[in-house]
Amino acid sequence: MSTVANIAPVFTGDCKTIPTPEECATFLYKVVNSGGWEKCWVEEVIPWDLGVPTPLVLHLVKNNALPNGKGLVPGCGGGYDVVAMANPERFMVGLDISENALKKARETFSTMPNSSCFSFVKEDVFTWRPEQPFDFIFDYVFFCAIDPKMRPAWGKAMYELLKPDGELITLMYPITNHEGGPPFSVSESEYEKVLVPLGFKQLSLEDYSDLAVEPRKGKEKLARWKKMNN
């Protein structure tokens, strides 16, 4: 048996019942506007948190469909996806601005068999630039959490945090037409508008609705982007 298999994390428990993105958009902004994302974690108003890794992430790991090297998950929250992706060939960094989110992640996963293969960092993705850029970035519920006016800054951050030829993996969500947020609605064109002018090339776009949790079915797609050398 390989070393990777020997230290593979085992997750127990079922996915939490979560509201639809349309429902979240009717109440989440009140907490965020009054005390930021930290208040959400303090008061446990975290309707995006599944309590388990994203099913699609587990699918990608199982099928060896993720790059090796060093990966980043911005807005990692409770850290489930970070830990699910981490192994000796793939060191993962979970980034968040909420100390309480990261405290929860560290307490939950510090004894995992692959704990030497990931770390959690409290930083602002828009200003944080480590000495070594990343081989890939996985973004799921971060793009939709920020004010749409900040999306160009998000794209710039993704570009600067990746190595030349690095890969950006975006699980586009929520692909809806609802008003307000967070989560703010997204579309394929919204990602293209931000990423293509920076020099990203879309490699693939796939629909994994069969793997999505029930409130998100039909509202997300997986796109993979290559950072091209300009």
pLDDT tier, 13 (very low <50, low <70, confident <90, very high otherwise) = low
Q: Which tens digit of pLDDT belongs to each residue from 66-87?
A: 999 999 999 999 999 999 999 9
Summarize the confidence of residues 164-184 as an average pLDDT: 98
Q: What are phi and psi of 160, to 5 degrees?
A: -75, -25
Summarize the confidence of residues 5-33 as an average pLDDT: 83
Summarize the confidence of residues 158-183 as an average pLDDT: 98
Element (H, E) at 161: helix 151-161
Question: Which pLDDT belongs to residue 92?
Answer: 99
Question: Which pLDDT belongs to residue 230?
Answer: 60
Is the pLDDT at 2 greater than 70, yes or no? no
Q: Which tens digit of pLDDT belongs to each residue from 192-228?
A: 999 999 999 999 999 999 999 999 999 999 999 999 9
Beta-bridge partner residues of 69: 90
Question: Which pLDDT belongs to residue 180?
Answer: 97
Beta-bridge partner residues of 227: 200
Q: pTM of the predicted model, to two decimals?
A: 0.94
Question: Which pLDDT belongs to residue 6?
Answer: 53
Give the number of other Cβ atoms within 10 Å of residue 220's Cβ.
26
Contact status, residue 77 vs residue 109, Cβ threshold 8 Å:
no
pLDDT tier, 11 (very low <50, low <70, confident <90, very high otherwise) = low
Element (H, E) at 93: strand 90-96
List C-alpha distances in Å: 12 to 80, 108, 147: 11, 12, 34
pLDDT tier, 1 (very low <50, low <70, confident <90, very high otherwise) = very low
Q: Which tens digit of pLDDT belongs to each residue from 86-133?
A: 999 999 999 999 999 999 999 999 999 999 999 999 999 999 999 999
Q: If you ran DSSP here, which 8-state letter would residue 182 be given?
A: S
Q: Which domains does the chain have, with CATH numbers?
A: 16-227 (3.40.50.150)
Summarize the confidence of residues 1-9 as an average pLDDT: 55
